[in-house]
């Protein structure tokens, strides 16, 4: 389930978005990483994405995303 959409004033996600979100969550758990790390790793693995842009609101989130490079290099 996609969390936080109501608190941000967003419309309820479409069913296909919920299904995609659940699949990403499942894959991330299987690999032992966060959903954000999986999304960034996917972006870095695709040549058609030349410059993934990430944004964080705190240092912990930045450290989490930096961990993506450790995960990616270890695969």
State the pTM of this model: 0.66
Residue with tokens 């999986």: 38
- List the chain pLDDT tens, one digit each, 75 residues: 455 556 566 667 678 888 888 999 999 999 999 998 998 888 888 888 888 888 888 898 888 888 777 765 555
- Contact (Cβ atoms closer than 8 angstroms) between residue 65 and residue 40: yes
């Amino acid at each position: 389930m996609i969390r936080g959409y109501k608190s941000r004033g967003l419309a309820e996600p479409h069913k296909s978005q919920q299904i995609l979100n659940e699949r990403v969550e499942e894959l991330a758990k299987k690999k032992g990483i966060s959903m954000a790390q999986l999304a960034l790793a996917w972006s870095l693995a695709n040549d058609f994405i030349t410059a993934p842009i990430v944004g964080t609101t705190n240092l912990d989130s930045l450290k989490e995303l930096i961990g993506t490079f450790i995960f990616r290099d270890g695969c």
